[in-house]
Chains A and B, each alone.
Chain A
Amino acid sequence: MGISIASLAAVLLFAATIVWVKSTLADHQQHFASGESLNREDEILSGCPAEFVTQIFAKKDLEYVSGLGSAQLKRLFAQERKAVALYWVQQTSAQIRRIMRTHLQASGRSRDLELITEAGILLRYGGLQFLCSVLFVSIALAGPQGLQGLAARADGLAQRIREAQLGFQAAKEAGRTHSA
């Protein structure tokens, strides 16, 4: 029994990984087509505002569409909202990965590293990436509605990493000005 549950979980995880890789690749190609690239420096440090994250994962719109009494519209809604939610998860995960890369490069050159702060950032990063994976699989399997709490937690973690990076940059700038 225990083995069969573990096998099922492994199969699900494998399937989710394939979906993730495929949609990431498709998404990457779409970026070139639509010009929605996230490479701009100002975009790197700003995420999607929390009110929009709430909207993507809320049940209000689903209730409205369900009330219209069309199975086709309900299917379209589920498909559309799932795509937006998955996109948000991918964007958040990719954005924080980029921020961490920049942070690690900068902290590697820094002489006055605070180990506790650095460990805290790394822990938050690990937690966020784990939450993003859980969210991705859950959305792909059941849709985004009902995952508002988890999404808010991931959004909060991402925001704290962004703020930590901004703080790190500000401290570096201040140090540079002071030494000059």
Chain B
Amino acid sequence: MSATVRLVSVQDAYDDLLQRTLSRIPCEFGRLIYLASTRDYNSGTYHHEGLAARFQADTARKALEIAHRQVFYAVSAYSLEDLVSELEAYLQSSRENPEGFLRAWQKLEPYRVAIPLEANPTIARLFLSNIRLALAILRFRREGHPTLP
């Protein structure tokens, strides 16, 4: 397969992923967590049943990887204020108990899995630091004090 044909099909798979799946997730942070969840914890490779059925598994994997990286950089570039709003929207869409959610996220730091494998290390640090701050701010808003982890 030529490189051009391959690039076009990755672009097609990427567009398909945006239209069919990612557009239905209400916030960017939710899209980030969703994309990270399509990655296997052990091998670090991405898999999406529907996308792999419509395109080749390898093409689907590449499209997921690109989408993950793009959404990660978009979220990392948010100002702290915007990130707090995003996290709040994600918290509401999860329908979990807010106190339990905030406590679990501060203690277990599950957002660490949202970092793509090849992410720039400084941006990864900034992302983790901003999430920690956003969680403390959300907790401060609810409880009147930040309750640091």
Contacts and interface: CB of A to CB of B under 8 A. Distances in A.
B132 interface: yes
Contacts of A10: none
Contacts of A48: 120, 122-123
Nearest to B81: A64
A49 B123 CA distance: 9
B36 to A, nearest CB: 16
A68 interface: yes
Interface in B109-145: 118, 120-126, 129-130, 132-133, 136-137, 140, 145
B126 A70 contact: no
B7 interface: no
Contacts, number: 75
B59 interface: no
A38 B137 CA distance: 32
Contact of A68 (B122, B124, B130, B140): B140
B129 A80 contact: yes
B80 interface: yes
Contact of B77 (A43, A55, A84): A55
B123 A52 contact: yes
Main secondary structure of the interface of B (DSSP, over half): helix
Contact of B80 (A46, A47, A64): A64
Contacts of B77: 51-52, 55
Contacts of B120: 43, 46-49, 52
Contacts of B140: 68, 70, 73
Contacts of A55: 77, 79, 126
Interface string A69-108: 0101100110011011001100100000000000000000
B120 to A, nearest CB: 5
A49 B118 CA distance: 14
Contacts of A47: 120
5 contacts: A48-B123, A52-B126, A76-B132, A80-B130, A81-B129
Listed from nearest, the 6 A-B pairs whose CB atoms lie closest are A61-B80, A48-B122, A80-B129, A36-B121, A64-B81, A88-B122
Interface of B: 76-77, 79-81, 118, 120-126, 129-130, 132-133, 136-137, 140, 145-146, 148
